[in-house]
Structure 1
Amino acid sequence: MNRFLFFFIFCHSLLFSSENSFSQVDSLVEKKQFLNAWKLLSSKETELNKEDVNIRKIKLCLKYFTKSISHQAFAFTNLKPEENLIQLRKSAETKLISTFPFKIDAILDSLIQENPKNHTLQKYKGDYYYDIFILFGRDWITSQQEVLRRMYTAYSIADKQGVNDYLSLYALGYFHHLNSESQTAIEYFHRSLNLDSNHAPTHYNLAYIYTELDSQEVALKHAWSAYKKYKYIHYKNDAGQMTGSILGKTGRHEEAISVLLDCDRLIPNTYHTYYYLLNSFLHLNKTQEALITAENMFSLDWKSHTIHTDIIESFIKTNHLNELVVFYQTKLTKEKYDMEFRGHIQLHMAQAYSLVNDKIQTIKYINDARESFLVCYDNNHPVFRVLDKMSK
């Protein structure tokens, strides 16, 4: 009896000591003393508490590292009040910093083998590979496809046992989306939103899928949500462009213009913003705004065949051939001597006239373009093959 009592007291004291240590770790993390938190955790690991200690170490590694070496070794820093972890990570990229080897994948595999019924360990394994996918992309120890497979397998095992969160369900949806399994992806994404309706990437991916399925109204709802909820301006801009595009497709051009002008303020001079703006301006017969937008697109790269094709098709589809001709004629009037420039403009005027089956004007501008290009290009330049093909 005394031996049993002694053993009980001993275990209880270890448990109390462990919980006390964890509260100290939590306090250090709250104060952003991440290096001290790591050292304290390392000093307190025993055979009895190693699972809890390693789980906390994994969380520390994934959230609070200063530098990661392929997510196999990690550096930590005790932050000063004015310091920012993201800034420290950027500066650490070019510095030699001592790291602590900590192979999360091997550690989790060992813990899972010892305690296979703790399905939370599978969830952490999924978190680990999701983090690798986001941070390293194709530049990790093994292939991106294998990383995604491991992430999916771990998250799936955990989810089947009821262990999940909004991020793991989002990741499972994203995996199915990548594999063109739209309906399964939708199910996971909606489950994710049930746990966190503010997760912008989930809304964005749902908008993308519903656009592909031609469910424009549902797509628009999620695109709007993604646009409103994203904080990072590049992602917000992408979501805004998608929203503007869908609004344009559904004929809500005034709203599309409003969103797209916001995008242009977020990140000025982006091609897709201009492209969708041009479409809406032309549909509303706002020709002056359309011409300004076309000029902005032209200025991005006046040699780009893609840009010219998009400009031309936008004007032609909305019955604005005359305005398009004026747009290009103005450029020919202003530039008399740069024959390469003139040749490209004449080629694209021929392209425009060919779309409306005006063969006379098409041939005229093909010949004009050929004469201009002969001044600045050799006879074997690829552009002449393009002109020959257009002549047929």
Structure 2
Amino acid sequence: MIKGMGWLLLLTLLFSVDVTAQSKIDSLIFNGQYLSAYEYVNNVDSLSIDMALKKVDIAINYHLNCQYFREFSFVNLRKGESLSNLRLKAGYGATPIKFDVDSFLQRLHSDYPTDHRVSKVLGDFYNKVYYDFGDSWGERSEVLLEKSNSYYLQAFENGVYDYYSLYALGYYQSLNENYFDAQRWLLKSLKLKPDEDLTNYSLAVTYLFDGLPQKGIRYAERAYELYSDSLSKSDAARITGILHLKTQQLNEAKVFFEKANELHPQYRPNQMYLLKVATELGDDSLSVKLAKEVLMAEKYSPELAEEMNSLFLQVDKIEWLCQVYDEVLEIYSVDSEVCGNIRFHYGKLLYKNGQKREARKMVKQSRKDFEMVFESNHQVFDAIEQTLARIK
């Protein structure tokens, strides 16, 4: 009985020491003393699994510099300093410390096969390697994601997970176009953290790709509300607009495309979606204004002019695009390359509208424009001859 109480006393003492050590480390981290925190845990003679995972946490999340998570340098912050700012300064910090996190975690996983916190941390590790280094780490990006997914799934099946691991499981399924499974994981993640912007955004996208736009609208709108930076907010607004467009809610779609365009001005996808909904709503003044702005911004792009033709033909509003082409030709009348590009696609537009004679005349004029700027062996002349051959 006394012997048994002795073992119990020893275990209690060891537990007390471990708790004290972790409290000390947490205090150092809270106060920005990252080098001291790492040195403290690194000098512990025998690491418990909790202390081992704490060591990994400090290395991955609180390093100053690292080489592929195999070598780290740390720093103790001084008043007014931040880790993110110091990371921008090359060569700052103490002598690098070798610590191969990958092999360390694998040994830990082997030593503690039933402690699935290690599986979860392995999932976190390979997920972070994927985002931070990708193929340059030494394994293909897809292999890193597969490993992360496998460890996260193993941990989940044994009751160890958080909102991010559930998100990552959903993200992996969405990459493989398993949208139903992706939605299942992402919804689980949102139950743990409903106001996570990226999860709401990703869920909305899976519903879009899965052909269920109505289900995605609430999550896209929520992501738009949650995002604070203008680019992410613009992306969320555009996705929301697309989902409304898919459900034929044109006025709602227009509102969100306008928001997206305001947040990220002169970004072609935003402009083109706003142009599309403007044409479908029959808003001729907005359609002409936008089409002209976009075309003038990329006046040498044949792909854009081709996209314009397709968009206006789809809604049977070619007279609006003809007006745009006429105005742009007038503005750039002395730029032969712009005129050649516009007239060539103007001719193709007229041909598709059944105006063959006018189409041939326009394409032939584009050839004269291009002859002013290109050598006779330029590929544009082959395209012109092929187009003229089709217009009979």
State the TM-score, normalized to the length of structure 1: 0.92
Q: Report how far residue 118 of structure 1 moved.
A: 0.5
Cα contact 2:344–2:366 (8 A) shared by 1: yes
| In structure 2, distance between residues paired with 1:103 and 1:207 | 38
Q: Which residue of 2 aligns with 1:386?
A: 383
Assess, with a 3 A threshold, how the Cα gap between structure 1 residues 24 and 177 changes in structure 2: closer, same or farther.
same
SS of the equivalent of 1:376 reads coil
| In structure 1, distance between residues paired with 2:331 and 2:10 | 91
Q: Report how far residue 126 of structure 1 moved.
A: 0.3
SS of the equivalent of 1:138 reads helix
Q: Which residue of 1 aligns with 2:299?
A: 302
| In structure 2, distance between residues paired with 1:215 and 1:12 | 56
Q: Which residue of 1 aligns with 2:114?
A: 117
| Corresponding residue to 2:270 among 270, 273, 276 | 273
Q: Report how far residue 95 of structure 1 moved.
A: 5.4
Q: Report how far residue 343 of structure 1 moved.
A: 0.8
Q: Which residue of 1 aligns with 2:166?
A: 169
Where do 1:275-354 residues align within 5 Å?
Answer: 275-354=272-351
| In structure 2, distance between residues paired with 1:217 and 1:307 | 30
SS of the equivalent of 2:161 reads coil
Per-residue Cα deviation, 1:14-56 (whole angstroms, up to 9, x for no partner): 322221121111112222222222122222x233x43211111
Q: Report how far residue 127 of structure 1 moved.
A: 0.5
Cα contact 2:75–2:93 (8 A) shared by 1: no
Where do 1:63-212 residues align within 5 Å?
Answer: 63-92=61-90, 98-212=95-209
SS of the equivalent of 2:72 reads strand
Cα contact 2:292–2:328 (8 A) shared by 1: no
| In structure 2, distance between residues paired with 1:215 and 1:151 | 28
| In structure 2, distance between residues paired with 1:27 and 1:265 | 44
Per-residue Cα deviation, 1:266-322 (whole angstroms, up to 9, x for no partner): 322211111111112222232222222223312332111222222222222223222
Q: Report how far residue 96 of structure 1 moved.
A: 7.3
Assess, with a 3 A threshold, how the Cα gap between structure 1 residues 338 and 258 changes in structure 2: closer, same or farther.
same
Q: Which residue of 2 aligns with 1:355?
A: 352
- Matched residue type, 1:46: D
Assess, with a 3 A threshold, how the Cα gap between structure 1 residues 287 and 84 changes in structure 2: closer, same or farther.
farther
Q: Report how far residue 261 of structure 1 moved.
A: 2.8
Assess, with a 3 A threshold, how the Cα gap between structure 1 residues 80 and 95 changes in structure 2: closer, same or farther.
closer
| In structure 1, distance between residues paired with 2:36 and 2:185 | 38
Q: Report how far residue 328 of structure 1 moved.
A: 0.9
- Matched residue type, 1:87: N
SS of the equivalent of 2:88 reads helix
SS of the equivalent of 1:54 reads helix
| In structure 2, distance between residues paired with 1:123 and 1:62 | 14
Cα contact 1:211–1:219 (8 A) shared by 2: yes
- Matched residue type, 1:365: M
Cα contact 2:220–2:240 (8 A) shared by 1: yes
Q: Which residue of 1 aligns with 2:45?
A: 46
Q: Report how far residue 257 of structure 1 moved.
A: 3.0
Q: Which residue of 2 aligns with 1:17?
A: 17
Per-residue Cα deviation, 1:191-231 (whole angstroms, up to 9, x for no partner): 22222222222222222222122211112222222222233
Q: Report how far residue 68 of structure 1 moved.
A: 2.1
Per-residue Cα deviation, 1:307-360 (whole angstroms, up to 9, x for no partner): 222222222222322221111112222333322221111012112223323222
| In structure 1, distance between residues paired with 2:94 and 2:336 | 57
* Structure 2 runs not aligned, ≥5 long: none
Per-residue Cα deviation, 1:233-262 (whole angstroms, up to 9, x for no partner): 333222222112222333333333332333
- Matched residue type, 1:288: S
| In structure 2, distance between residues paired with 1:125 and 1:66 | 21
Q: Which moved more, 1:61-70 or 1:122-131?
A: 61-70
Number of aligned positions between the proteins:
389
Assess, with a 3 A threshold, how the Cα gap between structure 1 residues 133 and 368 changes in structure 2: closer, same or farther.
same
Q: Report how far residue 147 of structure 1 moved.
A: 0.8
| In structure 1, distance between residues paired with 2:109 and 2:64 | 27
Per-residue Cα deviation, 1:125-163 (whole angstroms, up to 9, x for no partner): 000011111222232121112211211121121111121
Cα contact 2:74–2:94 (8 A) shared by 1: no
* Structure 1 runs not aligned, ≥5 long: none
Q: Report how far residue 105 of structure 1 moved.
A: 1.6
Cα contact 2:241–2:252 (8 A) shared by 1: yes
Q: Report how far residue 383 of structure 1 moved.
A: 0.7
Q: Which moved more, 1:363-372 or 1:240-249?
A: 240-249
- Matched residue type, 1:54: A
| In structure 2, distance between residues paired with 1:252 and 1:356 | 29
State the TM-score, normalized to the length of structure 2: 0.92
SS of the equivalent of 1:269 reads coil
